[in-house]
Chains A and B, each alone.
Chain A
């Protein structure tokens, strides 16, 4: 834990980061920008897991291990999303949300 910093401060920081990510997710019109916002949301939740583990239950490691799993899932998700975006760009030459009608049935 950090000297002089309570758990409330860090939770406030991660809340703000989370909602900045939500704001970007809702206002951006571009697939890659949406991916960036999703990364920010995931990262804020990872910090929450780690901080709660460190401040409330320093003896057990569940939060740390879960954050490792979240990071692994985020990496897999990003790789797949980038592959889908590149494939979509080949087919319709655009990554804007309003142009992606290929996947709608």
Chain B
């Protein structure tokens, strides 16, 4: 049962990913990307990482897709067809990517992973404890760094998106 589910997920993810990079309509390719991201969340559910699947759904499928859709709507006319690369270049890139896939897959299959057979469920409380522990193997420092990074990115995004208007207004004020 899970096997069939995995193959359905994998096939639909690959199909939607190809559609997302080759569709000529902007908004449609964003929606195809949304399907790919939801498929990845389904994969996380299958390998029993409920917390990561929830994060994937909220941050990627919820936040990032909405951001990209907003930027598409602000920037583009919906019906505008995208300009594609020349066919020769596309074929060349496709061959290059197939070559890369071949190299990667042959490397993966020639390496023998010693898979541990036991089945453990990761609790969200374990992730939280490890994320905030100050002992060996704790992740408190990257956690703090990432929070500062998010704050800096937020401030930077506001400043950049406001652009010149913010500076002019602050100059006019005094």
Interface residues of A (CB under 8 A from B): 1-13, 15-24, 26-30, 32-33, 35-37, 39-40, 43, 46-47, 50-51, 54-62, 64-65, 67-69, 71-80, 82-87, 89-90, 95-96
Closest 3 CB pairs of A and B: A24-B21, A76-B153, A83-B161
| B side interface size, CB within 8 A | 83
Q: Is the CB of A76 within 8 A of B149?
A: yes
> What is the 8 Å Cβ interface bit string for chain B, positions 7-35, against chain A (1 contact, 0 not)?
00010011001101110001001100100
Closest approach, in angstroms, between the C-beta of B147 and any C-beta of chain A? Answer: 9
For B119, give the chain A residue with the smallest CB separation: A1
Q: A29-B84, A50-B47, A50-B52 are in contact. Are A69 and B142 (CB under 8 A)?
A: yes
- Across-interface contacts of A64 in B (CB, < 8 A): 49, 52, 122, 127
Report 6 cross-chain contacts, Cβ distance below 8 Å, ordered by A residue: A12-B105, A20-B97, A40-B20, A46-B56, A54-B48, A64-B122
- Across-interface contacts of B135 in A (CB, < 8 A): none
**CB contact between A82 and one of B52, B71, B105 (< 8 Å): that residue:** B71
A29 CA / B94 CA spacing, docked (Å)? 16
